[in-house]
Amino acid sequence: MADRFPSPFEMTPPVGAEGWEDLYSYSVVFSKERQAYEDGAFWFMDGVHTPEVIEPWDATIVEYALIALSQYNTRHYVIPPARGVDIRILNGYMYLAPVPVLDPAEIESRIPEFMERAGFYFGNWKTLEDAWLPKVKAVIAELEDISFEPLPEREEMAVLTEGRGTGSGMHLMQSYNRLLDLTLKTWNHHFEFLNLGYAAYLDFFGFCKGLWPSIPDQAIAKMVAGVHVDLFQPDEELKKLATLAVELGVDARLDDGTAAEVFAALGSDEAGRQWLAAFDEAKNPWFNFSAGSGFYHSDRVWLENLDIPLGFIRNYVAKVRRGESLARPTEAVAAERDRIVAEYRELIDSDEDAATFDGKLGLARVVFPYVENHNFYIEHWAHSVIWRKMRQLGEVLVKEGFFTQADDIFLLQRNEVPTALFDAYHAWAVGIPSRGAAYWPAEIERRKGIMNALRQWSPPPALGVPPEVITEPFTVMLWGVTSDSVKQWLGGSDEGGDLKGFAASPGVAEGPARVISSADGISELLEGEILVAPLTAPSWAPVFGKIAATVTDVGGIMSHAAIVCREYGLPAVTGTAFATKNIKTGQMLRVDGNAGTVTILD
């Protein structure tokens, strides 16, 4: 077995992708100038958020996410053994490198600062967290407020009568800059609590593993899990709508047709209108819910693809008709959580350990709602708005003849957009043809060709030199990168037999595999099948009622997929690295969500 992964400098672009580097920020690609550092670091591919090629503008979001994560570790809280997480894009794929603090003296010297800074947050968590949602909602409202309109033939009279003294071209550029600023702000907010939340959870986790070395990971997760979780609210809304449809007697009218047809037909009578009103109330904000991780502009959002939630509602209506209850048994969930805590606690003999257990569990429970809930507000709601607004801007440039479709805008990196807008603004102001209308169509075609070529490349799971231990809280908890996974990657994917991953959600199930590469495939899933996917999104939860288990290539025990699978009682093994490569649709699988193993039975 090799002791290191290939160097990023040995990687060549696939044929037809030459020049791909120029489509991304110069600071985010591997380069000669930083070769010594880059070659000696450990880079893992972020399959949790970005399992596929990232288009140039979409890289904005991942860069903003990583810069915010890093700044909180390094500059806000001074996490003693960890700096930030560095990011590079290689052949269109995102690679991440956690940066440890290695010098024990330096770690020691950071502790007092960490205590003061993190201590303030831990000590005032509730108050600070209460302020978080209003802040984020305000940012989302500001984002919603942005509108990108085509440049007018003439400025309207009010600009003159009110003496505004500014014009539409400047506002267009300003709005784009505002969108970028708000996107960065969104991501600053995202990590205000998350790093500390993970750290406190990991601390409780480590303490439990010290008391009971063989305790299942999910048992620890269950002890801290919340009973009311916003991330599950979109699904709750679907269930409510299904129940209401049956109550109002309009359920039969949901059975056939596209969402547009169904909704048009419902408008014809009082009961139908009542249901539509309930649907409208639910969809904002809850259907700002991505069918993917939310990190790609191409991830479909329920709100803009109402056939997705309607399909799920149909499944639930069928259950209501069969007399099944859709209500979450919240009392039973809470009682089970209390039982688990009480029984483990009973196994502790010293009063001191019991008191420490109570303290750490208490802190973990204080921080955990944030860990569970933030994802809806940022990756789903805010991102949905950002993608929507960017498409509006794309339409503006379609009108200017730069693009043939709105989504072409995502083939520009973020800093190219102001240049293109300035070109359009300039042509509009001067009253001449833009260069863009002649330049961009061919350039967009070239870039599409590069993207398609990059999609043919298989990114290695990691690059560079793996460290002895990984000290960065996210790397383990969220990305699921551990010494074990590193060893497995180094061993390669050729060994047949069992796949090993995280025991992410308990239970054992057998069934035929259905390998799905993206959200579009989930409608193919049949009752009793085992979903095998690069990763799953929280918004796939509505199909969890009919499948037997889930297996993913990537993700740790706190990945969003793992949280949702536990909630829905679906056995899951995450972070197997090679499931979608080694498993074929139709093969019989045995998924052991307790042991973290997947066995191909035939």
Q: Which residues bind other proteins (CB under 8 A)?
A: 79-82, 107, 111, 114-115, 118-119, 122, 199-200, 202-203, 205-207, 209-219, 339-340, 343-344, 347, 349-350, 352-353, 356, 359-360, 363, 469-473, 476-477, 480, 482-484, 500-503, 506, 508, 556-557, 575, 594-596
Nearest of 357, 332, 356, 330 to residue 343 by alpha carbon: 357
Which residue, 217 or 299, is less far from other proteins as judged by CB? 217
Nearest distance in Å: CB 94, other proteins: 22
SS3 470: coil
Looking at beta carbons only, is 212 or 422 nearer to other proteins? Answer: 212
Give the torsion sign (CA, 537, 540, 541, 543). Answer: negative
Shortest distance in whole angstroms from residue 205 CB to other proteins: 6
In angstroms, how far is CA 367 from the centroid of its own chain? 19
Give 152 or 210: the residue with its C-beta nearer to other proteins: 210
Q: Cβ of 581: how many Cβ atoms within 10 Å?
A: 14
- Report the residue number, 275 or 370, with the smaller CB distance to other proteins: 370
- Least separation in angstroms between residue 360's CB and other proteins is 8
The nearer residue to other proteins, 394 or 556, going by C-beta atoms, is 556
CA–CA gap between residue 475 and residue 554 (Å, rounded): 12
Question: Which is nearer to other proteins, 260 or 334 (by Cβ)?
Answer: 334
Q: State in angstroms the smallest separation of the CB of 569 from other proteins.
A: 13
Task: Give me the least distance between CB of 552 and other proteins, in Å please.
Answer: 14
Q: Which is nearer to other proteins, 245 or 363 (CB)?
A: 363
Q: In a 3-state reduction of DSSP, which class is residue 226?
A: coil
Which residue type occupies 407? D
Bridging pattern class, strands 502-505 and 572-574: antiparallel
- Euclidean distance between the first and the last CA atom of the chain, given in angstroms as a whole number: 28
Burial of 510 (0-12, 13-18, 19+ CB in 10 A): middle
CA atoms within 13 A on the CB side of 467: 19
8 Å CB contact between 421 and 148: no
d(CA 265, CA 257): 10
Q: Residue 503's closest CA among 571, 559, 568?
A: 571
C-beta of 528: minimal distance to other proteins in Å? 19
- In angstroms, give the least distance from the CB of 27 to other proteins: 28
Ramachandran assignment for 87, one of left (phi > 0), alpha (psi -120 to 50 degrees), beta (any other) = beta
CB 4 → other proteins: shortest distance, Å? 18
Q: Is 120 or 439 the residue whose CB approaches other proteins more closely? A: 120
- Smaller CB separation from other proteins, 216 or 512: 216
Question: Closest approach of Cβ 515 to other proteins, in Å?
Answer: 23
275's CB contacts (< 8 A; 6+ apart) are 241, 244, 245, 248, 250, 266
46 versus 472: smaller Cβ distance to other proteins: 472
Cβ proximity to other proteins, 76 vs 137, nearer residue: 76
Minimum CB–partner distance for residue 61 and other proteins (Å):
27
Return the SS3 of 411.
helix
Q: Give phi and psi for 507, each to the nearest 5.
A: 120, 160
CB of 507 to other proteins, least distance (A): 8
Residues belonging to the chain: 602
Instruction: Report how far apart, in Å, the C-alpha atoms of 568 and of each of 325, 512, 540, 550, 563 are.
Output: 14, 20, 11, 11, 9
The alpha-helical segments, DSSP class H, found in 146-269 are: 157-161, 168-211, 217-224, 233-248, 259-266
